[in-house]
Amino acid sequence: MKPKPHFLPKRQTVIYGFTEQMLRDTGTNRRSFAMVVADQYLSMYALDDREVPFRITLGGEGDGDADKKHNGQILGRYLDGVVKTLPADLEDAWVMSLPEPYRSNCERELCRRRGVLPIRLDALEASAQTVGIGQMMSDFGDLVSAMTPAMADGVIDEKDRPYVRRIVKETDDMVIGLLTFRKSVVAACPELQA
């Protein structure tokens, strides 16, 4: 007997879901977020490589409110499903524009689809050794806090489903913290870098 197929939502559906959650949770409006996405997009791609007609008028020329309305309409067309496919270059700028923790959660969900654990390269800088240790301790506390209700009866089973998502997230954060610390240690001993 074949297992039932497990279909994934489209990548853009995941991104839109985290975006809508962020907009609800923070009270940010679409137009304001659209300006952040537009700024990120325009700074990432050369004029000839852009597919999305975002605009931001610089130096006080033109009308900033018109840009906000224009960019908000572009973003809204994607969120409302009027434009069916999110271009790959816009996906990068969009996800990078999400504030934390929505960005990390979105990246984690997108990577999980391929069985990959996302690790932010800027978090793995050797210069962040003390921050890495403090972050590891905080991540460990968050992991213990997430595990406590699930482990109350000594086993993780079906009735612990409400806790699973948070446990996985906190475990991922702990692994990332450990890898950050490991990179700092290895950087201090070049003979270990093979």
Separation between Cα atoms, residue 51 and residue 159, nearest integer Å = 47
Left (φ > 0), alpha (ψ -120 to 50) or beta: where does 103 sit?
Answer: alpha
Q: Is 6 part of a structural domain of the chain?
A: no
Residues 98, 30 within the same domain: yes
Read off the DSSP letter of residue 2. P
Residues 73, 133 within the same domain: no
Structure tokens at 148: 């406590």
Select from 88, 112, 136 the last residue of a domain: 112
Residues 29, 106 within the same domain: yes
Amino acid at 5: P
Residues 41, 125 within the same domain: no
> Residue 121: pLDDT band by 50, 70, 90 thresholds?
low
Q: Is 2 part of a structural domain of the chain?
A: no
163 has pLDDT over 50: yes
Q: Which domain holds residue 162?
A: 121-192
Residues 108, 32 within the same domain: yes
The 10 Å Cβ neighbour count of residue 42 is 18
Q: Is 4 part of a structural domain of the chain?
A: no
The residue-averaged pLDDT of 164-173 equals 85
Amino acid at 67: D
Q: Is 3 part of a structural domain of the chain?
A: no
Select from 69, 94, 112 the last residue of a domain: 112
Residue 122, pLDDT score: 63
Cut 0.85: pTM above it: no
Query: If DSSP codes are grouped into helix, strand and coil, which group holds residue 142?
Result: helix
Query: If DSSP codes are grouped into helix, strand and coil, which group holds residue 53?
Result: coil
Residues 131, 175 within the same domain: yes
| Cα first-last separation, the chain | 46
pLDDT tens per residue across span 64-105: 889 999 999 999 999 999 999 999 999 999 999 999 889 988
**Is-contact 110 98, C-beta < 8 A?**
no
Residue 102, Cβ density class (10 Å: 0-12 exposed, 13-18 middle, ≥19 buried):
buried
Residue 126, pLDDT score: 47
Left (φ > 0), alpha (ψ -120 to 50) or beta: where does 81 sit?
Answer: left
Which of 162 and 183 is assigned the larger pLDDT?
A: 162
Read off the DSSP letter of residue 52. S
Residues 131, 188 within the same domain: yes
Separation between Cα atoms, residue 164 and residue 147, nearest integer Å = 9
Mean per-residue pLDDT of the chain = 86
> Residue 187: pLDDT band by 50, 70, 90 thresholds?
confident
Separation between Cα atoms, residue 139 and residue 173, nearest integer Å = 6
